[in-house]
Structure 1
């Protein structure tokens, strides 16, 4: 059986966080995606790809790529803020691009992913209510909303994930790296709730660096810069086991390759695509 493998600009160091690192031009990133054998991409941060639907479609088509979805951080826990307004533009762009998934993250409201506040019960009630409300909003636009547990957001730890599973109906994006760093075994979660997983971000992780992030010894950004994310099959996540569990439970969504990286400058050698090629080869070998 074949599987659907997509890419994400963050594997090339393209990120929404201010000061993240050197940002490669979209033409290089998209061409290298296609050259690595990927057939689709997530959109990446605002400004990376055109917002005009016709121009966006043309840019992707020029590289033989389709759009699978987009990552949208939204503040969900603040009762004074209406997150539906933040979702209107991204939903229109994703729908125009022919995407099927909007990947939500429960943003803190601050830049970056190195710290987060603690939610009280009222904040959790607001967050959970907004998750279901935004899922309905996405469905009305013809897209599937999934929640991405993510380091440095309001849904990071296993306790956070369990509260979402119990308190809302929204499906999950299984990000194997962010889950592990946040203290969740992604394989165990895939086994426990395969029916709630509708989208995946596949990352491999250096568990020793991840533990230093959990302990507060390293910030998330510094750990990424130190190489916390590794090509699939070279770290401490059981990627093969996760893929097997999902496929055996009928998962037919996208496997999006994401090895977050930070670039100091324009690479003079092959650059990030080297690791993408390695991950594609590993994943196709797992399936074979």
Structure 2
């Protein structure tokens, strides 16, 4: 198995529950943590907080809202002490890999990987999916990323998900395995991302993929909660299969019209579907405690979807306000709980 710039630690230095002949890929893909194994749990946790451009309102969906300049977003991320980011919407970072690395280097940041829609169940899209997976994996490899965050969608333009037929389910798992192998061939770990308006949206969908594959998971606290999955239960039961975490809090009162397809995800976000961490209905603290207790060593990406619907905010205003609240929550609530 290829890795990206990381030699695995001796087994005796790894968390007890990860000592095995072949540690899960999530334990050997994270460059920042070579020194974190011997750190107190709270300190090691705080070193692994990152973010994504969507937390600054960066999204490719037409009409989403105003888009902040790349340099400003990276400056604000870095100013909050976040050492890494996900790729975000097409065009936000330079398409040139060398220039992209320079953009990150200016702020001493690294690239984790990115959210990648994939059509797995539709046999007519098999060639397109493989080509996309190869192209994206090559790009991630070039920029030093480690994570291919798969979101299995109904169609490339995000049509509402439909019940899969028996043949479509078989095709889904065939293609999921192929994408997983492509990722491994490029030194990446694929993590499946449950998400609103995808074919892995509900607890039933999650259970089907867990039971019929061995792929790793992106535990997204917001989307899993919306879909009916208890994130604490998932963290405790499947910790060894969690390769990545998105931290997202939700105002559950805003969920019904989005789940009923009466509102789009964009409309939900614009109306406050997602909140700063600790201000919604998701058990953020309890989920993190469960993961850390199980020996999880990966990233915690604050992925707090927002939209700038008014004028371009001034410096120090706009999405950074909510992001600071989320970072403060992790420092002032979660870290002390881990230190006990």
SS at match of 2:123: coil
- Say if 2:296 is the partner of 1:251: yes
Cα RMSD of the aligned pairs, angstroms, is 1.5
Counterpart of 2:192 in structure 1 is 147
Is 80-89 or 3-12 further displaced after alignment?
80-89
- Please report the TM-score for the alignment, with normalisation by the length of structure 1: 0.95
Deviation at 1:193, TM superposition (A): 1.3
Of residues 197-206 and 257-266 in structure 1, the stretch that sits farther from structure 2 once superposed is 257-266
| Stretches of 4+ aligned residues off by more than 4 angstroms | none
1:69 aligns with 2:116: no
- Tell me, what secondary structure is at the counterpart of 1:80? helix
Which residue is equivalent to 2:145? 99
Q: Tell me if 1:281 matches 2:328.
A: yes
Shift of 1:121: 1.6
> 11-20 or 228-237, which moves further after superposition?
11-20
Are 1:51 and 1:93, in contact at CA under 8 Å, matched by a contact in 2?
no
Give CA deviations for 1:57-96 in whole Å, capped at 9, x if unaligned. Answer: 1000011111111111111111122212111222122112
The DSSP-based 3-state class of the residue aligned with 2:151 is strand
Give 1:217 deviation, angstroms: 4.6
Does the aligned pair in 2 maintain the 1:17–1:111 contact within 8 Å?
no
Indicate the residue corresponding to 1:5 in structure 2: 49
Match in the other structure for 1:22: 66
Query: 2:94 is paired with a residue of what secondary structure?
Result: coil
Provide the rounded CA distance (Å) in 1 between the counterparts of 2:240 and 2:250: 25
- SS of residue in 1 equivalent to 2:201: coil
The answer on 1:117 being equivalent to 2:117 is no
How far did residue 224 of structure 1 move? 1.0
Residues 236 and 294 of structure 2 are in contact (CA less than 8 Å); yes or no, is this contact kept in structure 1?
no
Task: Kindly provide the CA deviation profile for residues 196-254 of structure 1, in whole angstroms up to 9, marking residues without a partner as x.
Answer: 11100000111111234234454322221111111111111111100010011110000
Higher mean alpha-carbon deviation, 153-162 vs 184-193, is at 184-193
* 1:172 alignment partner in structure 2: 217
- Please say if residues 181 and 213 of structure 1, whose CA atoms lie closer than 8 Å, have aligned partners that are also in contact: no
CA deviation vs aligned residue, 1:250-280 (integer Å, no higher than 9, x gap): 1000000011011123124600011111111
**Residue of structure 2 equivalent to 1:131:** 176
Per-residue deviation, residues 135-164 of structure 1 (Å, max 9, x unmatched): 111011001011001101111011100110
Identify if the C-alpha distance between structure 1 residues 52 and 110 changes in structure 2 by more than 3 Å, giving closer, same or farther: closer
- Quick check: 2:196–2:259 contact (8 Å CA) kept in 1? no
Aligned partners of 1:267 and 1:111: how far apart in 2? Answer: 30
Corresponding residue of 1:161: 206
1:56 aligns with: 100
Query: Secondary structure of the equivalent of 2:322?
Result: helix
Gaps of 5+ in 2: 1-40
Aligned-pair CA distance for 1:16: 2.9
Contact 2:118 2:156 in 1 (8 A): no
Aligned length: 287
* Residues 190-201 of structure 1: pairs in structure 2 closer than 5 A: 190-201=235-246
Alignment match of 1:89 (pick from 113, 135, 139) = 135
